[in-house]
Structure 1
Amino acid sequence: MKLLSSVSLWTLAVFSAVLEISQAECDISGCEGNDTETSTTTSIVNCTISNGSSASENGCFNCCKEATTKPPAVMNLTATNITASSISLEWSKPEGNISLYRVRWNDGGFNETTGASLTITGLTPGVNISISVSAVAGDTLSEGETATLSVYTKPEVVRNITVTQITTSSVSLKWTKPEGNSSFYRVQWTDGNGNGSDHVTQTNITMTNLTAGVQYEITVTAVTDDGRAEGQSTTVSQYTQPAGVRNLTVAGITTSSISLKWTQPEGSSLFYRIQRTDTTNNWGVSVTETDVNVPELTAGVLYSFTLIAVAGDHKTESEVSEIVHYTSKRMNHTSDNVLVVCLVPQPFFQHYKLRGEQSHHQKKADKTKKHI
């Protein structure tokens, strides 16, 4: 009987010790209030658990705690559309149980979305935006590693492009700085045959070595620091000044007309505008040839002629070339000595010579007939 009691007491002692060890491994007081303990690992000993899933099996975190693993990082984070004030993002959903995604960007920008895409709005034009996206598990607490992306918003369009000066070989422009940020401006031009480009940091440029009288299409674009993000281009069309005509001369004169001729200027021009002035009136005409006859003039009068080359826009003009000349004087038939030449069909002509004398009552005429 004593032996039985002794065994019972020994058994009771062993049982009590095991109970104390079990209670030490699994503290019941820690489970009160349904508290949750979060794990940042991807595997737990004695537990079967997947990424983003929960586990509350015996032996995991003091037997009564719930554990959630971190989700993997999102993949293929891409900016699909960029404007001056917005960036649209897309990414691939990672494996595991994902409840939402957290998106953060410059200056405390933050948003959450359940889908694998988001458009960030209200951004400043032409600035670098650093973006991070992370997946969040079903407990809304366990957050995976972030995927990051750095991208510039597009600069705004340049404004108020104005042509300030043109010559036969250059065009000068100025414009207003766009809103937001930009690092420099890319200026490109073409006449349809050749191209040119330049980069400037100021809001003006003079393009040189151009062809006279030619139309150029000029575009100005704001560019960011990385040299890749460009704003919308602004285009202006402008002709260079035609070169002045060369070698303007009088080709012939009569009592009622003056003929002019000249050499075509270098470069290009659409037509020529000739104007004449005298003391009574003005006259003008446009021609495409390099000569003109100016009719209906008065004999013995001094006339001034101006000539300009005009570009294809009908308004851009060259410098003025000018020439001054008299028309021929009309013959005076009442003078004492008059020479009259009459032309007759070949093979012969008759030459008459009239000589005036002092007497008003008698005149003597010599007639000579010559054969050719």
Structure 2
Amino acid sequence: MKTLWLPLLLSSIIWAEEDYFFISPDAAWNGTGLNQSNGTLNDTGLNRYNTTWDEARNHCQACYKELATINSKNIHLIVQNLSLDYWTGLRRSYNGTIPWSRWSNGDPVTYQNWYPGHPLPNKVKKMIPICSSTTQSPLSTLITTMATPVTNASTEIPTQTTTQTSTVSSPVTFPQFSTLSETNNTDVCPILYNVLECLNMTYEELERTVHEYSSVTPKTTTYSTTTNPTTFSTIFTTTGYETQNTTMNSTTTTESTTASNCIFEPEPDTEVYIEDACVVLLSFGMWKEKHCNETLPFICYDNQFYGQIEVSDVTTSAGNVSWSTPPGNITHYKVEITWNQTKQTYNETNQYKQLLDLTPGNLYEVQVFPVKCGRDLKPQNISFYTKPSDIENLTVVSMTTDTVSLSWSKSKGDRDVYSVHIRGMNSENDQACESEECTITGLTPGNNYTFTVTAIVNNTTRSAPVNISDVYTRPSVVLNLKSADKDSTVITASWTKPIGHHSGYKYYLYNSSDCATSNCSTNGTITTDTFIKVENKTDGTKYCLCVAALTNNNTLSGEMVVIPAYTKPKTVTLSLKFYSNSITATWTIDGNYEKFNLTIQGVTDNLMDTKTITDKTCTFKDLKPGVQYKVSVVTINGILESDPAEESNYTTPTEPEWVKATSNGTTIQVTWGPPKDSAGATINYSVTCASAFWGENTTAIDTTSTKHTFPNLKSGTRYTCYVHVVAGSLTSKTVTAHADTEPKKKTLTLTMLCSSATPLHCENSTTQNELFRKLNNTFTAKFNDDVHWKLKWVDRNVIKSLKQN
């Protein structure tokens, strides 16, 4: 026996999408194609009978790719459509390869699903001896069969009442094995390997035993057995077989040997090894080998063809379609062209087709079917649009500062949309238009544009462009136009540049009480500045100023902006006279006027009075002393006003009504009442406190309050405080008050030495009183009331007592 190996060859396979075709009579001899990606069936139109494997392969190679290969990726697709047994592309030995290792297309076998016991190995046949003898023994049997050998095992023979005769013919032929040195244990038949392990024998020992036993002379042995049970056992040894008889009671054994003639024939097999075998896919999905010259249905496969198809030289009415050639015997190409629910079919033998008389802007769908053995292969598909026809009569309808309206004639044929390409000075963009009238938006005012219009289908296919150039948008209005209105004979105006582009400006000035755009003349003055000054105008007069931006070399005007512009009435020359309770204003003027507006205002208290008069003098009464007032005079001429003439000053101030000074320690607080006629007004005061003895003046304080405190003054000192009203450069009369700071007392003892020629003169009280009077006068002259002091006569004894204590 030889061990059969079916190696599983693994390799990297490039997997292509394939169709499978079942060629069988059951399919009415119409080959059925199965797409391995989606399981759909395709008709091939064949009319074939069952064939041999070679015929099947020749047909598959001619009309398809090859006989089918089977792997783990396509087995489920193929099996689910089985109805018969089919040839596949596997042969025992293909191009000298290892048996069952490669498919007919050269792919390695990576998947197997053999029927049990298959494929049959090429094993050595068992030889069975056929012998004849004089004893007419029963048919010889091979006693050396190795199905279930057991060492030292015995088989009990039941008690017999008759004599049995057994004939054993030898020699016996054993199968030839290679030695264990030539193969691994796993290479040996698994059953034999288990037997050797059970017999506790090596393979070499078994081989020697078989060799020795095969040389034994054939003989016939007759065994007679009584009714007593007898046990017969056969033991394999290294020198041959030993036969052991064991008699349990009384046993009689008779052995006779006679010569016989034997012949050996191979043991008959239910299945025969096929040298040239091909694989059949059984209807239930398993594999089995058969003679390749048998006739069966078969399965072909073909790679799905994905060719290249191109369209070129497309115009408004024509186009060329070309395609690639698929492998195999292609007889011709079926070309189907579909447009607007219309289909037309052509048969071509070349790989191109020129399409003529097409409609502009139409969608055309082209399918090219290669025809192979009467079978349409997967089509090559392409679709294209013919170019739309060109537009005509492109014109500009109108324009604004940021839009241009265009119109054109409708193009022939079909189109999806029109595209307008806008090219300006510094930008380019596109705008889609649905109809033949289109307004282009988002433009820059005063810019120069070129517009190019094309018809488009399918977002990509365009007609030839048609353009119109030198189209200007109107400039936008000037910004921040304003007149200075500050001169009586000159109109001055300015503005800022408009948004977008411009080449200059045009302005127009006219005298009118009603300014309207319609009154602006087209014949204005052109300038490139954003400032104008027009002189020699009448004072106190209303004018209208129109200004517009220009573009396209100052030939296209934007919208006019109109504002009123005025010359002012002249300003009066004003003079004022101030009193404590009134102000008199007078003025002169050289120019046009109707009346005057006068205003008097308290600068700090916002007190205001307004008058309108035609005279050139006015007195404002009941004013408050010491308050600053501003007088303004404005000349009025119709609705026009001059710049105001203004003067301001203080009314004559009056003194505070009263002043009071009080002390607390070394601090003096001064309070006062405002002037009698200035109650409620904000008045400025100046406050000063001074010491005559020390020759010291505190800093004058300007305040609007009616009290002030002076801290940290000298103790025991009389201070004189002065308060007056301050009004600009004017001051009122001063009001005073006195206050003494609290003294810090110290005692100074003066000892007088009295000497006199007259006895007891110094002891005389008159003398003492005179001395005290003179000292008092001396201190009074020195200190007066400016500082605190006190002179007192003290007895000497009292002083002495004070010192002792």
1:165 has 2:398 as partner: yes
1:43 and 1:252 map into 2 onto residues whose CA distance is 113
1:100-115 alignment, distance < 5 Å: 100-106=332-338, 107-115=342-350
The aligned residue for residue 116 of structure 1 is 351
After superposition, the C-alpha distances for 1:128-164 in whole angstroms (9 at most, x for unaligned) are 2121223457xxx946333332222222233323222
1:291 and 1:275 map into 2 onto residues whose CA distance is 13
SS of 1:82's equivalent?
Answer: coil
Report how far residue 242 of structure 1 moved: 0.6
Report how far residue 193 of structure 1 moved: 4.2
Q: What percent of counterpart residues are identical?
A: 26
Say if 1:130 and 1:74 are closer, same or farther in 2 by CA, change over 3 A: same
After superposition, the C-alpha distances for 1:178-221 in whole angstroms (9 at most, x for unaligned) are 11112223344353545554434232222334321122343433
Retained in 1: the 8 A contact 2:425–2:447?
no
Say if 1:196 and 1:108 are closer, same or farther in 2 by CA, change over 3 A: closer
The aligned residue for residue 716 of structure 2 is none
The aligned residue for residue 128 of structure 1 is 363
1:93 and 1:229 map into 2 onto residues whose CA distance is 28
1:84 has 2:299 as partner: no
The aligned residue for residue 351 of structure 1 is none
In structure 2, give the amino acid aligned to 1:104: E
The aligned residue for residue 290 of structure 1 is 530
Task: Show structure 2 runs of 5+ residues with no match.
Answer: 1-43, 65-301, 511-521, 537-542, 566-805
Report how far residue 230 of structure 1 moved: 3.2
The aligned residue for residue 21 of structure 1 is none
**Higher RCO (CA < 8 A, seq sep 6+):** 1
Say if 1:323 and 1:307 are closer, same or farther in 2 by CA, change over 3 A: same
1:117 and 1:135 map into 2 onto residues whose CA distance is 12
Say if 1:317 and 1:182 are closer, same or farther in 2 by CA, change over 3 A: same
Which structure has the bigger radius of gyration?
A: 2
Report how far residue 311 of structure 1 moved: 1.8
Retained in 2: the 8 A contact 1:101–1:135?
yes
1:174 has 2:414 as partner: no
TM-score of the aligned structures, taking structure 2 as reference length: 0.27
SS of 1:199's equivalent?
Answer: strand
TM-score of the aligned structures, taking structure 1 as reference length: 0.53
2:503 and 2:482 map into 1 onto residues whose CA distance is 18
Say if 1:73 and 1:134 are closer, same or farther in 2 by CA, change over 3 A: farther
SS of 1:122's equivalent?
Answer: coil
Report how far residue 241 of structure 1 moved: 0.4
Match of 1:268 among 479, 501, 505: 501
2:557 and 2:421 map into 1 onto residues whose CA distance is 24
Report how far residue 316 of structure 1 moved: 2.9
Match of 2:557 among 317, 327, 346: 317
After superposition, the C-alpha distances for 1:63-92 in whole angstroms (9 at most, x for unaligned) are xxxxxxx9x968211223432222222211
1:263 and 1:230 map into 2 onto residues whose CA distance is 44
Backbone CA RMSD of aligned residues: 4.8
Report how far residue 306 of structure 1 moved: 6.8
Say if 1:132 and 1:209 are closer, same or farther in 2 by CA, change over 3 A: closer
Say if 1:93 and 1:244 are closer, same or farther in 2 by CA, change over 3 A: same
1:43 and 1:78 map into 2 onto residues whose CA distance is 37
Retained in 2: the 8 A contact 1:175–1:203?
yes
In structure 2, give the amino acid aligned to 1:206: T
Retained in 2: the 8 A contact 1:74–1:134?
no
Report how far residue 168 of structure 1 moved: 1.3
The aligned residue for residue 445 of structure 2 is 212
Say if 1:317 and 1:198 are closer, same or farther in 2 by CA, change over 3 A: same
Retained in 2: the 8 A contact 1:252–1:260?
no
How many residues of Structure 1 are paired with residues of Structure 2 in the alignment?
263
1:1-372 alignment, distance < 5 Å: 40-41=45-46, 45=51, 47=55, 48=58, 51=62, 75-98=307-330, 100-106=332-338, 107-135=342-370, 142=374, 144-145=376-377, 146-194=379-427, 196-224=429-457, 226-237=458-469, 238-245=471-478, 247=481, 263-273=496-506, 286-290=526-530, 308-312=548-552, 315-320=555-560
Report how far residue 290 of structure 1 moved: 3.3
Retained in 2: the 8 A contact 1:167–1:240?
yes
2:316 and 2:525 map into 1 onto residues whose CA distance is 52
2:475 and 2:557 map into 1 onto residues whose CA distance is 6
SS of 1:216's equivalent?
Answer: strand
Say if 1:240 and 1:79 are closer, same or farther in 2 by CA, change over 3 A: same
Retained in 2: the 8 A contact 1:258–1:294?
yes
Report how far residue 98 of structure 1 moved: 4.2
Report how far residue 315 of structure 1 moved: 3.8
1:189 and 1:42 map into 2 onto residues whose CA distance is 66
After superposition, the C-alpha distances for 1:247-286 in whole angstroms (9 at most, x for unaligned) are 3769999x9x999865433321023356899xxxx98775
In structure 1, give the amino acid aligned to 2:424: D
